[in-house]
Amino acid sequence: MITNKEIASILSKTADLLEIKGENPFKVRAYRNAARIVENSSKDFNKLVKEGFDLTRLPGIGKDLSSFIKEIVETGKFHKLEELQKEIPPGLVDMLSIEGLGPKRIRQIYDAFKVTSLDELKKYAENGELDKLPGFGPKLIEKILKGVKQIKKAGIRFLWADVEEIAEDIRKYLFKFKGVEIVEIAGSYRRKKETVGDLDILVVAEDYPKVSEYFIKYKKVKEVHSAGLTRSTVFLDNDLQVDLRAVSKESYGAALHYFTGSKAHNIEIRKLAIEKGLKVNEYGVYRGDKRIAGKSEEEVYEAVGLCFIEPELRENRGEIEACLNNYLPKLIRKEDILGDFHMHTSYSDGANYIEEMVKKAINLNYKYIAITDHSKRLKVANGMSEEELLSQLKEIDEIQKKYKEIKILKGIEVDILEDGSLDFSDEILEKLDIIVGAIHYKFEGDQTKRILKALEKIDILAHPTNRIINKRSEINANFEEIFHKAKEKNVILEINSQPDRLDLPDTYIKMAKEIGCKFAINSDAHNCNMLEYIKYGINQARRGWLEKEDVVNSWKLEDVIKFLKIH
C-alpha cells in the first residue's frame, strides 16, 4: 500500500526531471502543486482512489493529474517518470541529491557546458568554469564538490572483514592517548553486519577536543571532514569514513545503545519507552526531566522492561518480542565450534597438503574435519579425477593413524550439474563420509529444480545462494522450497565463511532455522590459515539467530556421525 508521502515523492521527482529537461514551467508547477496537495492532505489517497472518489473535485488537481495519481496508487509506478528517467542522463538525476543544486541550476549547468556526469561536474567546479555562471559563488562550488564526493562514497559498502583490522587498530591507537577510558566501535560494525557503511566510534575521555586532535592525526587519515566539540569525521586512505563521538561516562550505555542501532531497533525501543511514560535518547532514559538510566546498555534495556539483546540481533526482526516472551536465542559462540566440513588441499585448488590442514585444525582444538576437494568439474580446471580421489582416501587413512586426537572425514565438493545430477558416480560417492554439493557455473535462470534434485544425494549444500558480495547477486531460486526439502532430506545448509560470500545471508538463515533446518559453519579454506575465516561465518550465524543445537559442527563427533549416517 502506497502512502501519501510516497505518491507525493513520485510527483515531485517527476517535476524535477521535467524541469531539468526544460519543460514548460506551468506544467512543472502543476506537478509540484499536486505533490504538495497529496502530501499535506489529511485524507488517505490510497483509500480515496479505491473508493472511486473523483479526485478532480480537489483544488489543484485536474483531469490529467487525477488519472496519474490513480495510476500511481494502483500500480505503484508512474509511466511518465519512468520515461523521463530513461531520457535524462543518470548523472544529471544524481546531481539532484547535491545540496544547493536544484533542477534549475542543473539545467543551467547543462546548457552552459553539456555536463552529464558527476566527474564532468567536478571538473568544471574545480577548473573555475562553473564560477562564471550567474549565482554560482564559491560557497556553492564548495558544496557541489562535497556533494559529488558524498554521492560517490554512498555507493561503497565495505566488507566487515575488510574493516576489522583498521577498526581494531584505531581502537588500540585511541587507547594509547592519556585520559581515554573507553573506546567502543558501535554501528553496523558492532552488529557484525556483512558490510559496513562507516565506523561509529564512541570514546569516553577527560578532554574530548584533545582526543579529537589526536584522532585526526591517525596515520591512515587522508582527509579531515570535520573536527567539532563532540564529534569528528575523517576519511581514511581507503575512503572509509570514521566518526568519533565524545560521550560522558553517565551516558555511555545510552550512547552505545543509540549508536549501535540499528535505527529500526532503536525506533521500537523508543516506542516501548513511550508506552511506559519514558523518553530514550543517546543521553539516557528519562522520566520527565529525571534521568533514570543510561550508564550501561543493560540499564537502558531494563528501564524499558527488556533483557539485554545481543547487538547482532538488533535489526527489528522479532528480537524485542522474543525477549518479552522469553525465547531469545542463546547465540552460537566461537568456543562452540568443534570442526569444519569444507576445505581444499593440494589435491585440488588448495595451497596446503592434507597433513598441514590437519595440524592446523588440531591447533584450533577441532575434534573433526572433512577434507572436501573439488571433483573433476566439467567447467573448471584443477578438480580431482575419481582415481585421484581414491589415492587421496588412502593418504587420509595413513594420516589418520598418525593423529588420533582428530577425526578426518572423507569428503568431496561435487559440482551440481545443470540438470541437478552430480559430476561423480554414485559408486565412488559411496566410499565417502560426507558429500558437499555446490553450483559453480551456469547461474542464469531459475535454479530451484536443479538444487532440489541435488538434495537427494548430498549431505551439505554449499554456498547456497552463490552470491559474491558487491560482485555477483544471488541465484534465482525458491529458497523456501529448498529449505523445506533440505529439512526433509536432512541436508545441512552451509554458512560459508569466506568474507565476500557469507552465504547463506542472515535473513535466509533465520528463515531456514524457523523451517527446522540444520547448518554447518564452514571455512571453505584454500589454505590452512583460512580455517580461521570461520569467525566471519559465526558472525553471520549469530545474525541469523543460530544456537549450538542448530549448528552441526558444534556437536559431539558421535552426534555428527549419527546425523550424517556415517559408518
Q: Rounded distance, CA 134 to CA 121, Å?
A: 16
Q: In angstroms, rounded to a whole number, what is the distance separating the alpha carbons of residues 95 and 439?
A: 41
User: Which region, judged by CB under 6 A, interacts with ligand DGT, from 87-95, 136-144, 189-197, 372-380?
Assistant: 189-197
Beta strands in 282-367 (DSSP E): 284-287, 290-293, 339-340
Q: Which stretch binds ligand DGT (CB under 6 A): 43-51, 87-95, 253-261, 464-472?
A: 253-261
Closest separation in Å from C-beta 262 to ligand DGT: 5
Q: Applying CB under 5 A, which residues contact Ca ion?
A: 187-188, 198, 200, 243
Count residues binding ligand DGT (CB under 6 A). 14
Judged by beta carbon, residue 311 or residue 339, the one nearer ligand DGT is: 311
Q: Is 338 in the site for ligand DGT (CB under 6 A)?
A: no
Cβ proximity to ligand DGT, 9 vs 316, nearer residue: 316
Query: Whose grid coordinates read 554449499?
Result: 462
Q: Which residue has the closest beta carbon to Ca ion?
A: 187
Q: What does residue 393 show for φ and ψ, rounded to 5 degrees?
A: -60, -40
For residues 520 and 112, give the distance between their C-alpha atoms in angstroms, rounded to a whole number: 60
| DSSP-assigned letters across all residues of 3-66 | -HHHHHHHHHHHHHHHHHHT--HHHHHHHHHHHHHHHH-SS-HHHHHHTT--GGGSTT--HHHH
* Contacts of ligand DGT in 190-219 (CB under 6 A): 193, 196-198, 200
Estimate the crossing angle of helix 4-21 against helix 79-87, to 10 degrees: 40
262 lies in the site for ligand DGT, by CB under 6 A: yes
User: Does 267 engage in binding with ligand DGT (CB under 6 A)?
Assistant: yes
Report the C-alpha gap between 242 and 225 in whole angstroms: 10
- Count CA atoms within 13 Å of residue 441 on its CB side: 12
CA distance 266 to 281: 9
Least separation, in Å, of the C-beta of 314 and ligand DGT?
8
Set of cell numbers at residue 271: 516506542
Choose between 191 and 410: whose C-beta lies nearer to Ca ion. 191
Query: Closest residue (Cβ) to ligand DGT?
Result: 261
The nearest distance, CB 401 to ligand DGT, in angstroms, is: 49
User: Residues 411, 340: contact at Cβ < 8 Å?
Assistant: no
Choose the one of Ca ion, ligand DGT, none that binds residue 258, judging by a C-beta under 5 to 8 angstroms depending on kind: ligand DGT
Residue 301: name the closest of 271, 257, 356, 340 by CA: 257
Q: Does 144 bind ligand DGT (CB under 6 A)?
A: no
For the bound state, the minimum distance from the C-beta of residue 191 to ligand DGT, rounded and expressed in Å, comes to 7
Task: Give the one entry of ligand DGT, Ca ion, none that residue 465 binds, where binding means its C-beta sits below a cut-off of 5 to 8 angstroms depending on kind.
Answer: none
Please check whether residue 514 is in contact with residue 483, taking contact to mean a CB–CB distance below 8 angstroms: no
Instruction: Answer with the entry of ligand DGT, Ca ion, none that 94 interacts with (C-beta below 5 to 8 A by kind).
Output: none
Among 263, 333, 334, 562, binds ligand DGT (CB under 6 A): 263
Indicate which of Ca ion, ligand DGT, none lies near residue 319 (CB less than 5 to 8 Å, by partner kind): none
Q: Which residues bind ligand DGT (CB under 6 A)?
A: 187-188, 193, 196-198, 200, 258-259, 261-263, 266-267
